[in-house]
Every structure is written in structure tokens, then in C-alpha cells.
């Protein structure tokens, strides 16, 4: 239980760092990274094939930000590895996912999917800004849900902890089949 709390605190701190980087860098309104025509699931697999171990993910700038997550009877997501540099703007390149999803296997951990993430900026009196709290911002959201691979992200949704802003996200189970659907958040074939 204490390890789970420590991981939640670490997750909150890392998301907060990513949000601060995002807001302080002035990149909030940056143009999307070019994804090029023909971005496909095969292209995402090719772009992430070298990241099949947590060590390789860390070398590429990803950091673990969650415990292994699952909901009994629904499925799992595994451990989330976030790349703060990729999460620090509104752009999403299908070949450069903001998060990687790792699940336990007989030989340690293996890459099972990717997750795309974008902060949902709120319209505020001082301009677009990340939004925290339980209620939808009174002036609405500044940026609509992005899309990759022909799919619009889920959201906007409240942050999963107090340090995480409202956001959009999209899971893609490119390395582990998901009977619920390739873009569904929870995968019954993933367990912790």
C-alpha cells in the first residue's frame, strides 16, 4: 500500500513537471508535429519497436509515472512511461507517442501499447491555461480533442490526481491484442 501511495505521489510530481514545462515553455500553442501522410498502426509499431524494454524507454526519455494499473473484471493498462518533452505541447505525432504502456511478462516487462496525451487548455480571463479541479471550466475549453490514426482522443477528462490537469488521451494496443478494441482504454488481456 505504501509503495502504491509513493508511486501516486511520484506520478503527480512528474505530471506537474510536464505541465510546468508545458506552460512555461510557451509551446502551448505550438504547431502540431508533422505526422506525415500514411501514419498507420504499422508505422507506430515500426517507430516503437526499439522501445520494448523499460530500459530502452528510459534511454529514449520516457520515465515511469504510474504503478501497474488494472481493474478486476475490466482489464489493465500496465505501467505508464511518460516522455515529458513530448507531453509538453499540444502536438501528437503517431510515431512519437507521449506514453508507453508496459505489462509484466514471464521475462520482466514488455511493451503492450502506447498512449497519446494532450492537455485540455481552458479558456480563462488571462488566456488559455491548464485546468485543474472537478468542474468543467466556466468559459469552456480552448483546444478541441486532437486526433491521430484516424481516431479522436477521449476527453476532455479530469486529471487522474490533483496535480494532473484536464486532458485528452487515446490508447492504442499495438503490441497486445485487445478484445475490447484496439483504441479502448482498458485491455482484458493485460494484468498486473
Locate cell 504499422: which residue?
Answer: 42
Q: How many domains does the chain have?
A: 1
Q: Do residues 114 and 101 touch, judged by C-beta distance below 8 A?
A: yes
Does residue 187 sit within a domain?
A: no
- Predicted confidence at residue 162, as pLDDT, reads 87
- Predicted confidence at residue 3, as pLDDT, reads 38
Domain containing 100: what range? Answer: 2-172
- Predicted confidence at residue 160, as pLDDT, reads 87
Does residue 6 sit within a domain?
A: yes
Does residue 93 sit within a domain?
A: yes
| Digitized pLDDT (tens) for each residue of the chain, 192 residues in all | 433 333 444 444 444 444 433 433 344 444 334 344 346 999 999 999 999 999 999 999 999 999 999 999 999 999 999 999 999 989 999 999 999 999 999 889 999 999 999 999 999 999 999 999 899 999 999 999 999 999 999 999 999 888 899 999 999 999 999 999 999 999 999 999
Nine-digit cell string for 36: 506525415
Residue 108 phi, psi dihedral angles, 5° rounding: 110, -130
- Predicted confidence at residue 22, as pLDDT, reads 40
Does residue 143 sit within a domain?
A: yes
Does residue 136 sit within a domain?
A: yes
Q: How many helices (H) and strands (E) does the chain have?
A: 4, 11
Q: Which residues pair with 117 in a beta bridge?
A: 169
- Predicted confidence at residue 133, as pLDDT, reads 87
- Neighbouring C-beta atoms of residue 108, cutoff 10 Å: 10
Half-sphere exposure of 6 (CA within 13 A, CB side): 3
- Predicted confidence at residue 181, as pLDDT, reads 96
Does residue 178 sit within a domain?
A: no
Nine-digit cell string for 96: 512519437
116-161 pLDDT, tens per residue?
999 999 999 999 999 998 999 999 999 999 999 999 999 999 998 8
- Predicted confidence at residue 161, as pLDDT, reads 86
Q: Which residues pair with 103 in a beta bridge?
A: 110
Does residue 46 sit within a domain?
A: yes
The H-or-E segment that residue 138 falls in is none
Does residue 188 sit within a domain?
A: no
Amino acid at each position: 500500500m505504501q509503495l502504491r501511495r509513493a508511486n501516486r505521489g511520484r506520478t503527480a510530481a512528474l505530471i506537474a513537471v510536464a505541465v510546468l514545462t508545458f506552460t512555461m515553455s510557451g509551446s502551448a500553442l505550438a504547431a502540431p508535429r508533422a505526422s506525415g501522410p500514411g501514419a498507420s498502426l504499422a508505422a507506430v509499431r515500426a517507430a516503437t519497436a526499439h522501445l520494448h524494454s523499460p530500459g530502452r524507454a528510459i534511454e529514449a526519455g520516457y520515465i515511469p509515472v504510474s504503478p501497474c494499473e488494472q481493474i478486476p473484471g475490466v482489464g489493465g493498462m500496465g505501467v505508464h512511461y511518460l516522455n515529458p518533452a513530448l507531453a509538453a505541447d499540444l502536438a501528437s505525432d503517431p510515431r512519437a507517442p507521449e506514453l508507453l504502456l508496459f505489462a509484466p511478462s514471464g521475462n520482466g516487462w514488455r511493451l503492450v501499447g502506447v498512449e497519446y496525451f494532450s492537455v485540455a487548455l481552458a479558456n480563462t480571463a488571462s488566456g488559455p491555461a491548464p485546468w485543474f479541479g472537478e468542474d468543467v471550466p466556466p468559459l469552456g475549453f480552448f483546444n478541441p480533442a486532437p486526433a491521430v490514426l484516424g481516431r479522436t482522443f477521449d476527453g476532455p477528462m479530469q486529471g487522474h490526481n490533483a496535480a494532473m490537469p484536464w486532458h485528452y488521451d487515446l490508447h492504442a494496443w499495438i503490441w497486445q491484442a485487445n478484445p475490447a478494441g484496439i483504441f479502448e482504454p482498458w485491455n482484458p488481456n493485460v494484468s498486473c
